[in-house]
């Protein structure tokens, strides 16, 4: 609560906390190599972008490189392409800032640094993840040692996007180091170009809504294909494969075309069972937390390239799930909910907002929708009448575990569980919007009821240990005027343009019963009304005064 009620002086003295991991920390790579300038130029020139306006989105930790990247791209692209640096993102830096891009009417965004890879709603994206330093030998040695202690049939490798450039090499080396009966699968590599699902301007060979990249075996062949199929060698090619070739028997790595690299959504989610080991390559992050929560049966081993060591991520999910379950129990006691929209670029955020509003209203709950930008306790503390917040953001920013928020902050999946009082939580966890919106999914918002409890009767609260009685909102047409879709109004205007009081307003009830300060004192009928008088006219260099005011000023000067 101190975060909400403090004086605000700390915001001046606090320093900005940014991630120190650098996109260009590998000294063996040049500046243009680290920021993939040639590939970015090629994607822009071959992308068919007609307005010739490109937004360059940088997170805070890479902003000091922005001018160098801007000048380098401008030198290669020429003056007909207009480049704009986008910084201080509207929401989270891992999401594509389509709001800022639309301010400059950009027709493509180049996103630098870490990305959550959520599908965009409007604009195509060129991703530049960077090439962070990783010791491949240490990584393979540490992981192979850990795998020898496990009995599993399958190993799935997933990486932080900044280490994806070495993922294939690590998978190849690891498949040779482990037992023959263990299958090593490289999870779908992150896309370098992505188009929104509804976009029809994708290059030839890319169908809107279709994933092109797929899971790969350790040898690079698509999962489910015959990896023993003969591949071209250096002797079959007109051009040599360069320094990486040690003999004429080596396999030539064919460069992917723009159509092959373009996808319209994030690579497929990892699906694993008890016989699977998931290897995550990268430092502890929100992505690792999500993998742990959504793949509970699997054993998870993480390798941190910053310290060259492995650690077991399995087991940490129990404490996380207990914390989330406590938030769900608190949400069950609430009557007034707020939908905190933390993204405007994720493709399915609008359908999800609509579905959640409908579900809350069907459960007789009051709901407000607020676009808050970057979440913090002070922002949400301004809405004291809201008893529980549901965050609609990308998967990496949906889970808010901070204890500084004064009310529960939950995910859409947790909200669905809180409203379905008859449902028993088995520990499974969902962060993917599409599963909540898919009618055929068992996690669909439409697939479950709101429980069989009669809200006129008190119910037992698991979080407080007391009986509580829920208030009803939007039930049986209690309001005189129906609320139009998308309106979170406390008052509505009638056809005569007059304000109509809504007696069933949660905010109004809170103002009357809970708030200690309700505004300035009215003093109705206690003071004489002031008389309207003519004032000054003209401009600042010389005002024209009315006769009464001119006489009053001349009299004051003479005194």
Report CA-CA distances (Å) from 125 to 103, 336, 482: 16, 37, 40
Please choose, from the candidates 204, 201, 160, 155, the residue with its C-alpha nearest in 3D space to the C-alpha of residue 177: 155
User: Which neighbouring-strand residues pair with 339?
Assistant: 369, 390
Task: Using DSSP, state whether 78 is helix, strand or coil.
Answer: coil
- Which tokens in the block code for residue 184? 């090593």
- Structure confidence by residue, pLDDT tens digits, 31-69: 888 899 999 999 999 888 888 899 999 999 899 999 999
Please choose, from the candidates 538, 506, 189, 157, the residue with its C-alpha nearest in 3D space to the C-alpha of residue 360: 506
Residue 120 makes CB contacts below 8 A (sequence gap 6+) with 96, 98, 194, 196, 345, 346, 347
| pLDDT values of the chain reduced to their tens digit, one per residue, 559 residues | 455 555 555 545 555 444 445 665 666 678 888 899 999 999 999 888 888 899 999 999 899 999 999 999 999 998 889 999 998 888 888 999 998 999 999 999 999 999 988 888 889 999 999 888 999 999 999 999 888 888 778 889 999 999 999 999 999 999 888 877 788 888 878 889 988 865 544 554 444 443 333 344 444 444 444 444 444 444 444 333 333 333 333 333 334 444 343 433 344 566 666 778 899 999 988 888 888 888 877 888 999 999 999 988 876 677 888 888 889 989 998 889 999 998 877 777 888 999 999 999 888 888 999 988 888 888 888 888 899 999 998 888 888 877 889 899 999 999 998 888 777 777 788 888 777 887 777 777 776 555 445 556 667 666 676 667 777 775 543 443 344 444 444 445 555 555 555 555 656 666 666 677 767 777 788 888 888 888 888 888 888 888 767 777 777 776 6
Report CA-CA distances (Å) from 9 to 3, 6, 12: 11, 8, 6
- DSSP for 126-187, written as a single string: EEE-------HHHHHHHHHHHHHT---SEEEEEE-GGGGGGHHHHHHHHHHHS-TT-EEEE-
Backbone angles phi, psi at 293, to 5 degrees: -70, -35
**Alpha helix stretches (DSSP H) within 20-104:** 31-34, 37-45, 66-77, 98-103
Angle 26-28-31 (CA atoms, 0-180°, nearest 5)? 75
pTM, to two decimals = 0.71
- Which tokens in the block code for residue 126? 């060129």
**Taking a C-beta distance cutoff of 8 angstroms, is the pair 25, 113 a contact?**
no
- Using CA atoms, how far apart are residues 39 and 255, in angstroms rounded to an integer? 11
Structural domains in the chain plus CATH codes: 31-128 (3.40.50.11840), 136-226+260-315 (3.40.50.11850), 318-468 (3.40.50.11860)
**Taking a C-beta distance cutoff of 8 angstroms, is the pair 385, 507 a contact?**
yes
Half-sphere exposure of 375 (CA within 13 A, CB side): 23
Say if strands 336-341 and 409-410 run parallel, antiparallel, or are unpaired.
Answer: unpaired
């Amino acid at each position: 609560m101190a975060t909400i009620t403090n004086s605000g002086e700390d915001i001046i003295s606090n320093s900005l906390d940014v991630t120190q991991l650098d996109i260009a920390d590998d000294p063996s790579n040049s500046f243009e190599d680290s920021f993939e300038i040639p590939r970015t130029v090629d994607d822009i020139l071959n992308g068919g972008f007609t307005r010739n306006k490109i937004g360059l989105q940088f997170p805070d930790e890479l902003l000091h490189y922005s001018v160098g990247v801007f000048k380098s791209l401008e030198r290669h692209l020429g003056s007909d392409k207009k480049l704009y640096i986008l910084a201080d993102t509207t929401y989270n830096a891992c999401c594509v800032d389509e709001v800022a891009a639309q301010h400059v009417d950009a027709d493509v965004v180049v996103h630098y640094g870490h990305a959550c890879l959520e599908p965009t709603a409007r604009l195509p994206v060129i991703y530049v993840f960077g090439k962070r330093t990783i010791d491949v030998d240490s990584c393979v040695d540490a992981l192979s040692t850990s795998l020898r202690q496990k009995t599993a049939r399958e190993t799935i490798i997933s990486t932080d996007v900044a280490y994806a450039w070495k993922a294939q090499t690590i998978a190849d080396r690891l498949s040779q180091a482990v037992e023959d009966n263990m299958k090593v699968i490289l999870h779908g590599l992150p896309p370098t170009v992505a188009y929104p699902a509804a976009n029809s301007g994708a290059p030839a060979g890319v169908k809107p809504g279709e994933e092109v990249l797929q899971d790969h075996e350790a040898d690079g062949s698509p999962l489910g294909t015959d990896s023993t199929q003969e591949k071209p060698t250096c002797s079959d090619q007109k051009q040599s494969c360069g320094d990486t070739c040690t003999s004429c028997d080596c396999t030539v790595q064919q460069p992917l075309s723009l159509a092959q690299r373009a996808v319209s959504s994030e690579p497929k989610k990892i699906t694993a069972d008890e016989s699977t080991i998931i290897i995550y390559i990268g430092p502890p992050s929100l992505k690792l937390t999500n993998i742990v929560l959504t793949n509970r049966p699997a054993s998870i081993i993480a390798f941190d390239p910053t310290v060259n060591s492995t650690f077991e991520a399995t087991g940490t999910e129990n404490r996380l799930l207990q914390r989330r379950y406590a938030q769900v129990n608190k949400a069950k006691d609430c009557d007034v909910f707020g939908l905190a929209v933390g993204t405007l670029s994720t493709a399915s955020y609008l359908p999800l907002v609509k579905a959640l509003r409908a579900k809350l209203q069907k459960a007789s709950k009051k709901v407000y929708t607020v676009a808050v930008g970057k979440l913090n306790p002070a922002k949400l503390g301004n809405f004291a009448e809201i008893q529980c917040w549901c965050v609609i953001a990308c998967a990496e920013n949906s889970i808010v575990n901070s204890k500084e928020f004064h009310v529960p902050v939950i995910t859409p999946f947790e909200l669905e569980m809180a409203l379905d009082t008859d449902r028993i939580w088995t520990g499974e966890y969902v962060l993917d919007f599409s599963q909540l919106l898919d009618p055929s999914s068992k996690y669909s918002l439409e697939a479950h009821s709101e429980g069989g409890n009669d809200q006129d009767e008190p119910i037992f609260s698991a979080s407080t240990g007391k009986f509580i009685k829920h208030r009803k909102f939007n039930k049986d047409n209690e309001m005189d005027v129906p609320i139009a879709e998308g309106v979170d109004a406390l008052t509505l205007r009638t056809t005569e343009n007059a304000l109509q009081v809504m007696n069933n307003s949660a905010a109004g009830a809170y103002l009357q019963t809970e708030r200690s300060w309700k505004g300035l004192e009215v003093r109705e009928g206690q003071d004489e009304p002031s008389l309207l008088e003519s004032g000054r006219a003209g401009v600042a260099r010389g005002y024209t005064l009315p006769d009464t005011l001119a006489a009053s000023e001349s009299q004051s000067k003479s005194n």
